[in-house]
Amino acid sequence: MLISAFTLDIVGKVMVAYTALAVHHRVAREHTIDREVFRVMKVEQYVGAIGIMCMIAAYVLHVYSAI
């Protein structure tokens, strides 16, 4: 159970970090925010939300395994 918690934690952190970096990279490369950038940002928001859910699930598993 503890390994699952650590795995979900790192997956969530990597997903959130990737999302932030991808948005910044896209805007820096395009130098403008158009329809395509907004579409990609929506997908990246979804990926970021899944990452946050992974971190929350990891926290719950950490607490549960400590009991």
pLDDT at 21: 84
Average pLDDT of the residues in 24-41: 78
pLDDT at 32: 75
Question: Residue 59: pLDDT above 80?
Answer: yes
Distance set, CA 5 to CA 16, 17, 19, 30 (Å): 17, 18, 21, 38
User: What gap in Å lies between CA 11 and CA 17, rounded to an integer?
Assistant: 10
Q: Is the pTM above the cut of 0.85?
A: no
pLDDT at 18: 86
| Amino acid at the residue 64 | Y
The tokens describing 18, both together, are 């990737």
44 closest CA partner among 22, 64, 62: 22
